[in-house]
Amino acid sequence: MNLVLEADAKKPVYLRIKQAIVQQIKTGEMPSGMRLPATRDLARQLGVNRGTITMAYDELVADGLLESHVGRGTFVAEPYPHGHHDNGRSAGPVKMSWDGLFADSAESHVISSLLDLYQVSTLRDVISFSGSFPDNATFPLQEFRNSLHYAVRTLGAEVFAYGPATGLEKFRQYLATDMLESGIRLTADEILMTNGSQQALDLIARTFISPGDTVIVENPTYPGAVNAFSLAGARLVGVPVDTNGMRTETLEQVIALKRPKLMYVVPSFHNPTGACLSRERREHLLAIAQEYGIPIVEDDYGSDLRFEGAHLPPLKARDTGEHVIYVSNFSKSLMPGLRIGWCAAARPVIARLTALKQNCDITTPPILQAALWDFCRRRKYHGHLEKIRPIYRERRDAVIRLLEREFPRGTTWTKPEGGLFLWVTLPETIDTTELLLNVRQKGVVFSRGHLFYVDGGVRNTLRLSYGNVTIKQIETGLTILGRAARELFSRNADRTADKFLTHTVPLV
């Protein structure tokens, strides 16, 4: 099979492969029933990863153009009766062809890398260090059921009506009071309830960003935020991160050069590195925001998940000049399926976000807000946090034990004081895509580090989530992963040595 790929470097390779195959099916070069090359062979022929071919084939199977038979291979499917008429009667439905209809933004590399992350993180029957999911086994089902019953029994029809777009008044009041404990002073009308933090980020992006505006982010950063800002047309500029979070000392230079509209940070247990922005850098960042009049979007998905070390005040707690748009949720610290988050900001901001929210989905389900409000006011949420913190701490310790024991020399990692993941840097000769393809066959997956960078990043980093794996799975999974990394390390070292032997000439 001779595939000619479109030369558009911005389009993901798997989509270009898919398009080339579609083209050959359309022109009849690939007739129905024809067997496609094995993914490994085509990958070798095109010089790409096998996973890329698998993604292209999977999409074509989903589109009905290919059929895959376990053990036999992948074949061109029988054609749909495209507009074929027999005695004036249609021979059957004409299958929609979606190719070429999607907006450029929906075909962007941001979407494909998110799909990539999503595909890995939702795999079943594997030991998954991917995703950043809390453990389903910790969910307080009985207690939450009681709160749902309370909401239905006591509040009745109110929780089945539309409810205000800003969210349930009593829940916003509860949150305003609760945030006081972390030093954040505001009133209920400075809060908007959202469907998880992701919706808050999306609303913020669409409220502030016009195409071409610049947003400063940590590099690496949370891909969901990259996606929200990029889809609104933003250009992202990454500022490096170390164990104390964003390196704010370079920020003023970047601001002078790029004139950003917003700065987005995850100061507590940064996704993906697990780092916390130090107290000094928090103050520095706020001072810069004040000086240049640039709002900060503070994504605080995780400060409730601190299991050791001193509490650090959120940026919002020190935000006397109302520069911070604070975003938080119950997704990692309680149950992500509730889809409940919120945004706290100055009133003019909340007003605009609310208008967009109304247009987007009218409101966050009142029944869930009411049940969660009841759950929180009975202090069940705080009780839940007490239960889960030691669990995640024990898992972090287990991950570090295994990293020390099983991984190749030269591997380094972060040691987060909370949250659900840590960041690993392997020796430079190891490409984590190769590593992932290798261990995936053995039932282990993780998130490759380069997917979190806004500029391509390096190939030898990875994020390990310990939220949704037991200690036993950590031991088994990281033994497999460590062994595979060691093998790649010594194989690549051999290759380097071979190259050295064959390509060098004596200097004398």
Query: Does residue 317 contact residue 183 with C-beta atoms inside 8 Å?
Result: yes
Tell me phi and psi for residue 321, to 5 degrees: -100, 15
Largest CA distance in the chain: 91
d(CA 262, CA 270): 18
Considering beta carbons, is residue 140 or 224 the nearer one to ligand PMP?
224
| Residue carrying structure tokens 């990394």 | 485
Show contacts with ligand PMP in window 322-351 (CB under 6 A): 329, 331, 336, 341
d(CA 281, CA 420): 23
Q: Is residue 132 close enough to count as binding ligand PMP by CB under 6 A?
A: yes
Count interface residues toward ligand PMP (CB under 6 A).
Answer: 14
Q: Is residue 220 close enough to count as binding ligand PMP by CB under 6 A?
A: no
| Residue carrying structure tokens 């004040």 | 290
| Candidate list 190, 218, 299, 431; residue touching ligand PMP; CB under 6 A | 299
Considering beta carbons, is residue 341 or 427 the nearer one to ligand PMP?
341
Considering beta carbons, is residue 197 or 432 the nearer one to ligand PMP?
197
Query: Does residue 323 contact residue 291 with C-beta atoms inside 8 Å?
Result: no
**Strand pairing class (296-300; 262-265):** parallel
Q: How far is the CB of 132 from ligand PMP (least distance, A)?
A: 5
Burial (CB < 10 A; 0-12, 13-18, 19+), residue 208, is buried
Q: Is residue 222 close enough to count as binding ligand PMP by CB under 6 A?
A: yes
Element (H, E) at 446: strand 444-448
Interaction mask 368-387, ligand PMP, x per CB under 6 A:
--------------------
d(CA 388, CA 395): 11
d(CA 297, CA 316): 10
| Candidate list 147, 248, 268, 271; residue touching ligand PMP; CB under 6 A | 271
Q: Is residue 365 close enough to count as binding ligand PMP by CB under 6 A?
A: no
Those residues with Cβ within 8 angstroms of residue 470's Cβ, 6 or more apart along the chain or in another chain: none
| Candidate list 301, 423, 452, 489; residue touching ligand PMP; CB under 6 A | 301
Show contacts with ligand PMP in window 178-197 (CB under 6 A): 196-197
Q: How far is the CB of 324 from ligand PMP (least distance, A)?
A: 15
Considering beta carbons, is residue 218 or 406 the nearer one to ligand PMP?
218
Query: Does residue 165 contact residue 267 with C-beta atoms inside 8 Å?
Result: no
Q: Is residue 54 close enough to count as binding ligand PMP by CB under 6 A?
A: no
d(CA 141, CA 148): 10
Considering beta carbons, is residue 182 or 476 the nearer one to ligand PMP?
182
DSSP single-letter state for residue 155? I
Considering beta carbons, is residue 331 or 460 the nearer one to ligand PMP?
331
Considering beta carbons, is residue 24 or 198 the nearer one to ligand PMP?
198
Query: Does residue 300 contact residue 314 with C-beta atoms inside 8 Å?
Result: yes
Q: Is residue 227 close enough to count as binding ligand PMP by CB under 6 A?
A: no
d(CA 461, CA 370): 42
Ranked by CB distance to ligand PMP, the top (closest) residue is 196
Considering beta carbons, is residue 12 or 467 the nearer one to ligand PMP?
467
Q: How far is the CB of 270 from ligand PMP (least distance, A)?
A: 8
Element (H, E) at 74: strand 73-76
Q: How far is the CB of 37 from ligand PMP (least distance, A)?
A: 37
| Candidate list 12, 163, 224, 295; residue touching ligand PMP; CB under 6 A | 224
Q: Point out which residues pair with 69 in neighbouring strands.
A: 73
Considering beta carbons, is residue 224 or 477 the nearer one to ligand PMP?
224
Q: Is residue 266 close enough to count as binding ligand PMP by CB under 6 A?
A: yes
Question: Which residues of this protein are in contact with ligand PMP, per CB under 6 A?
Answer: 132, 196-198, 222, 224, 266, 271, 299, 301, 329, 331, 336, 341
